Chain A
Amino acid sequence: MKKSDTPVKIRSNVEDMVRKTMKDFVDKEVIPIAREYDEQAKFPDHLFKQLGDMGLFGIRYPRDAGGSGGNTTLYCIAMQELARGLMSLGATVAMQCLMATNGLYLYGTPELHERYLYPALKGEKKGAFQLTEPDAGSDLKAVSTRATRTADGWVINGMKTWATSGPRADFHTVLCQTDPSKGLKGLGFFLVPSDTPGFSFSKPFDLLGTRSSSISEIYFSDCHIPAHHHLGQEGQGLSVLLKILAEIRIMTASLALGLHRAAMDDSVQYCKQRTAFGQPIGNYQLIQAKIANMAVNLEAGQLMVDKVTHLIDNGRSCLNEASMAKYFTVESACAAADEATRIFGGYAYSMEYSVQRYYRDNRFLLYGGGTHEVLQTTIGREILSK
């Protein structure tokens, strides 16, 4: 036997390792507390901090920006696992990693990075993304929160709603209209710290699902911010958003995959334990058909998500593919949660089992990242335009 003159290189697959690490975290830390936190509409702050210590919030940012040097694929794998444990946690973390911090990362000054970005990536500060308004969501032209230029900065006035972590965040990336006469070309993103005078929020909403996340109305009343809090150039708000729109949609699809996986795992386990007419219900063909449909849709959705994250990581534009993946995975997750409640029968109607939570939480996915009514329109229009 010769000594190994040329060192043998054996390395782990990074995607497998990130999934394994996150799966371990979710199995040990998240699943055991998910029911309690959902029931009490309480956010697991300790887990948020722990994920910050693990460098998860920087997973899609380069190392020189305080990130972990990963990419969209790894980010989405992590979100799939977190959503499998508790959708509220997945949604909040997804926001922190992407929408709440991306504008800051791309356009923030070194001082803003020091003050907000780096602490956010460590989990020491929480961010929120303020886009939706009572009368504006997918229809961005209708955004009415105003940013008005002053001698030394900007003044923000208006109201936002439905932003995850809104009332608990330390800073907000806010979409504002700078010049109503310019329509979409007048949009811009602004960083508004929660300690800015004039910033306030309503009582958090009593939610049907994702009850551990904190959502409320947010009010900006003459909030003065310095000029460098404008993230990007004037009128570039739409392009800032479009830069990450595919990623927002594929992140939402990843959350759907996680919920779908949870519904299927629970169903499979239950089918093996629950007996009817002297045998496990998994022996019956109608139950097998439900499991088969869940599995096929999960597999197909996973392939769609993997394709889109690969395209994003290779700098390819893929907004329509991301929209399709979001539409398909979320509808599949809703169907899987529904089927799970049928497999569990009466027990699904009890708060004791998690399937009722999956059934409630999946509604969140229908609205975030674009409603399916809007997505079907844009997907169809895009295909027909070619």
Chain B
Amino acid sequence: MKLVVLVKQVPNTTRVKLDPKTGNLIREGLESIVNPDDLHALEAALGIKEETGGTVTALSMGPPQAVDALTQAIGMGADKGILLCDRAFAGADTWATSLTLSRAIRKLGEVDLIICGHQAIDGDTAQIGPQVADWLGLAQATYVKEIEHLTPADPDKPGKPGEIIVKRRLENGVERLACQLPALVTVIKELNQPRYAHMERLITACTDKADILVWNAADIGVNTCDVGLEGSNTHVIKTFTPNFKRQKEILEGSRQEVVAELFDRLKKSDTTLSGKFQGRPS
């Protein structure tokens, strides 16, 4: 099977701080990590490779230092890494990012399964996976918590595609879904426990022997006006931490008086709660 995993290098958001004046992320001294959900995607791909054979290609878009995400992926067991690195890719929204990634996947030729984390911790959009599937015209299953069954396409039976059966985590339950390969799945952390990089593989991944390619816009055949900031349909105007201030007030009186007063206030206030209070408390 030919598997592709999308990996993103992100700031470790447990330590993220925003500049209160500019609203920009303070990147100085910030540690970069592989997006946690992407590690689950990698683990899933490596597990499939170990069971059915094939290759795992890790694909990332980012600045030169994003190569660290690919090095880690190879350290964990991926066969190959591709870094989409071009100034033209900078400032991309999810539309332009997914276009760029999908063009790179197209360049890779036939792919059986694309696996991605369901969202990145720095953007939290959960749009990239579905959009890549859409650009490539592939079936997709999102929020996958379990890969129940996977049948690769049988080369001796042309015309009979492979199949994947997954369980998706929904808000109120689990959905069991089957789709034909090639397909794209986005995964959540319940799926597995990612392994750590093996030292030998990691050390080799830092040398010229590592199979890591760097592709620019021309390599994947996109116009620079279609990618990066120029190709983006949305633009971030400002990022800020919402300033929530509690406006506390203590109601005084007997229990009945306080509850009645509270109830009246809620009813009069312009909140969604007020519509639900139809009667007085007994």
CA distance A16 to B199 in the complex (A): 13
| Candidates A3, A11, A18, A59; contact of B219 at CB < 8 Å | A3
A-B CB proximity, top 7 nearest: A14-B206, A68-B200, A68-B199, A55-B199, A12-B71, A1-B218, A8-B214
Set of chain B residues within 8 Å of A70, measured between Cβ atoms: 199, 203
Closest Cβ of chain B to A235, distance in Å, is 36
CA distance A9 to B83 in the complex (A): 10
| Candidates B75, B195, B213; contact of A17 at CB < 8 Å | B75
Query: Which of A3, A59, A63 has the most B CB atoms < 10 Å from its CB?
Result: A3
Binding site for B on A (CB under 8 A): 1-4, 7-14, 16-18, 20-21, 24-25, 50, 53-56, 58-59, 63, 67-70, 74
Measured CB to CB, the nearest residue on chain B to A78 is B199
With A17-B206, A21-B75 as known contacts, state yes or no: A59 contacts B199, CB within 8 Å. Answer: yes
Set of chain B residues within 8 Å of A63, measured between Cβ atoms: 200
Closest Cβ of chain B to A121, distance in Å, is 10
A18 touches B196 (CB 8 A): no
Set of chain B residues within 8 Å of A2, measured between Cβ atoms: 218
B214 touches A18 (CB 8 A): no
B71 touches A17 (CB 8 A): yes
With A1-B216, A21-B72 as known contacts, state yes or no: A13 contacts B206, CB within 8 Å. Answer: yes
- Residue B234 CB within 8 A of the other chain: no
- A-facing residues in B211-244 (Cβ within 8 Å): 212-219, 224
- Residue B13 CB within 8 A of the other chain: no
Interface string of B189-203 (1 = CB under 8 A from A): 000000111111111
A4 touches B219 (CB 8 A): yes
With A1-B216, A3-B218 as known contacts, state yes or no: A11 contacts B200, CB within 8 Å. Answer: no
A69 touches B206 (CB 8 A): no
B208 touches A11 (CB 8 A): yes
With A12-B68, A12-B205, A14-B206 as known contacts, state yes or no: A54 contacts B197, CB within 8 Å. Answer: yes
Set of chain A residues within 8 Å of B71, measured between Cβ atoms: 11-12, 17
- Residue B210 CB within 8 A of the other chain: yes
A68 touches B224 (CB 8 A): no
5 contacts between A and B (CB under 8 A): A3-B219, A11-B207, A12-B67, A12-B205, A58-B199
CA distance A18 to B71 in the complex (A): 11
CA distance A68 to B71 in the complex (A): 16
Set of chain B residues within 8 Å of A7, measured between Cβ atoms: 213-214
- Residue B259 CB within 8 A of the other chain: no
On chain B, the number of residues with a Cβ less than 8 Å from chain A's Cβ atoms is 35
- Residue B85 CB within 8 A of the other chain: yes
Set of chain B residues within 8 Å of A54, measured between Cβ atoms: 196-199
- The interface residues of chain A, by DSSP majority, are classed as loop
Q: Total number of A-B contacts with CB less than 8 angstroms?
A: 95
- Residue B88 CB within 8 A of the other chain: yes
B224 touches A1 (CB 8 A): yes
Set of chain A residues within 8 Å of B203, measured between Cβ atoms: 14, 18, 68-70, 74
Query: Which of A9, A10, A13, A54 has the most B CB atoms < 10 Å from its CB?
Result: A10
B218 touches A4 (CB 8 A): yes
Set of chain A residues within 8 Å of B218, measured between Cβ atoms: 1-4
- Residue B64 CB within 8 A of the other chain: yes
B212 touches A10 (CB 8 A): yes
B212 touches A69 (CB 8 A): no
Measured CB to CB, the nearest residue on chain A to B207 is A11
B208 touches A9 (CB 8 A): yes
CA distance A7 to B224 in the complex (A): 20
Closest Cβ of chain A to B34, distance in Å, is 9
Closest Cβ of chain B to A305, distance in Å, is 19
A21 touches B67 (CB 8 A): no
Closest Cβ of chain A to B7, distance in Å, is 13
Measured CB to CB, the nearest residue on chain A to B215 is A4
With A9-B208, A10-B83 as known contacts, state yes or no: A4 contacts B214, CB within 8 Å. Answer: yes
CA distance A12 to B208 in the complex (A): 10
With A1-B218, A10-B214, A12-B205 as known contacts, state yes or no: A20 contacts B199, CB within 8 Å. Answer: no
Set of chain B residues within 8 Å of A16, measured between Cβ atoms: 68
CA distance A103 to B228 in the complex (A): 56
Closest Cβ of chain A to B209, distance in Å, is 10
Closest Cβ of chain A to B104, distance in Å, is 13
- Residue B125 CB within 8 A of the other chain: no
A11 touches B210 (CB 8 A): yes
A11 touches B67 (CB 8 A): yes
CA distance A21 to B202 in the complex (A): 9
Closest Cβ of chain A to B198, distance in Å, is 5
Give 14 A-B pairs besides A3-B219, A17-B68, A55-B200 with Cβ atoms closer than 8 angstroms: A1-B88, A2-B218, A7-B214, A10-B67, A12-B71, A14-B206, A16-B68, A20-B72, A24-B33, A59-B199, A67-B200, A68-B199, A69-B204, A74-B203
